[in-house]
């Protein structure tokens, strides 16, 4: 690096380990979230990088004439206007792979809890009902002999599939293109829902995935069906899901993500056949530390070598 430290803008909150790693090698400028960071022209001109756990708009990019790189904390980068960054020659990075195992592990735990109701059983015990009222009710569902469909088979989807194999379930999948895997490919989401009884959603936020799991897909999944969503809440029509759970159109759902986080639809709250987690799939100290390290490593690599560690495919690399 040159003697002059590059300035990294941090809009809003980010994992403290990112800030710790950047100290000493960068000038870190923290500002509130927003398109207008209230910087002077002189300050804006010094900013060459952004480290963010949230959104970066084209408006913010335009306010920073010397911006070179945006390091996103998370594998999903839908909050960053990647098209605008590409037009401006700004590189965008994310944090893939370091959270694959944690998210896949959480997905299996969420699935098991959804079909076997372990949290409800533990609550029964802790409330003293096992002693006062007798054994907890038999779970109406089981993972045994299920046919699991993965909507999305990227890095995390494949890790989920590998973890499902020892459970001796049948595995199918739908993606935009067929993968070189042993699982059964299905040509459309509706066909997948019709052919399976357990649907795991692990797709990113795109125009094509907006509320794609709707009343039609849920009806196709059927009254023995289980929906698990660890991708984006954006992909599920929550009103349709609530109606399906209330009416028994599907049997149960396990959700780690929601349409308007941290707001959760009130209709989901009282449903005993819905397992709800506050977006914790990657939320362990080791995994979040690894994500933070990759944010810092991307910035350091960019300014040391002119090439980040994990650029997203849509952005140019010098």
Which entry of 261, 263, 288, 314 is annotated as an active-site residue?
Answer: 261
Q: Is 282 exposed, middle or buried (0-12, 13-18, 19+ CB in 10 A)?
A: buried
CB 308 within 8 A of CB 69: yes
CB 150 within 8 A of CB 161: yes
Beta-carbon contacts of 38 under 8 Å, excluding residues fewer than 6 positions away, are 31, 32
Cα Rg, the chain, nearest whole Å: 22
Beta-carbon contacts of 41 under 8 Å, excluding residues fewer than 6 positions away, are none
Which entry of 159, 232, 238, 288 is annotated as an active-site residue?
Answer: 232
Which entry of 116, 155, 210, 279 is annotated as an active-site residue?
Answer: 279
Residue 146: active-site member: no
* Rounded Cα–Cα distance for residues 258 and 278 (Å): 9
Residue 261: active-site member: yes
Residue 58: active-site member: no
Q: Would you name the residues annotated as active-site residues?
A: 232, 261, 279
């Amino acid at each position: 690096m040159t003697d002059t430290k590059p300035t990294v803008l941090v809009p809003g909150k980010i994992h403290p380990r990112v800030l710790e790693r950047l100290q000493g090698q960068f000038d870190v400028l923290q500002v509130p979230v927003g398109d207008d960071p209230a910087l002077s022209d002189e300050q804006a001109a010094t900013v060459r990088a952004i480290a963010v756990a949230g959104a970066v708009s084209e408006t913010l990019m335009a306010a920073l004439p010397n911006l070179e790189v945006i390091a996103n904390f998370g594998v999903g980068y839908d909050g960053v206007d990647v098209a605008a960054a590409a037009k401006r020659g700004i590189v965008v990075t994310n944090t893939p792979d370091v959270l694959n195992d944690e998210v896949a592990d959480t997905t299996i735990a969420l699935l098991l809890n959804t079909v076997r109701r372990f949290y409800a059983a533990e609550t029964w015990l802790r409330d003293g009902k096992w002693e006062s009222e007798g054994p907890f009710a038999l779970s109406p569902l089981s993972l045994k002999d299920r046919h699991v469909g993965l909507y999305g088979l990227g890095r995390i989807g494949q890790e989920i599939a590998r973890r499902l194999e020892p459970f001796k379930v049948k595995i199918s999948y739908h993606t935009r293109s067929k993968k070189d895997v042993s699982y059964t490919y299905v040509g459309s989401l509706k066909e997948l829902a019709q052919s399976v009884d357990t649907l795991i959603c692990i797709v990113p936020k795109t125009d094509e995935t907006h509320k794609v799991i709707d009343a039609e897909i849920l009806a196709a999944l059927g009254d023995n069906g289980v929906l698990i969503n660890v991708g984006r809440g954006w992909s599920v029509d929550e009103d349709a899901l609530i109606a399906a759970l209330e009416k028994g159109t599907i049997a149960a759902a396990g959700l780690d993500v929601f349409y308007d986080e941290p707001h959760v639809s009130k209709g989901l709250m009282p449903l005993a056949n819905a397992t709800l987690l506050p977006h914790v799939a990657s939320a362990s100290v080791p995994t979040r530390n690894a994500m933070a390290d990759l944010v810092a490593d991307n910035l350091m690599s960019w300014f040391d070598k002119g090439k980040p560690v994990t650029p997203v495919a849509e952005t140019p690399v010098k």
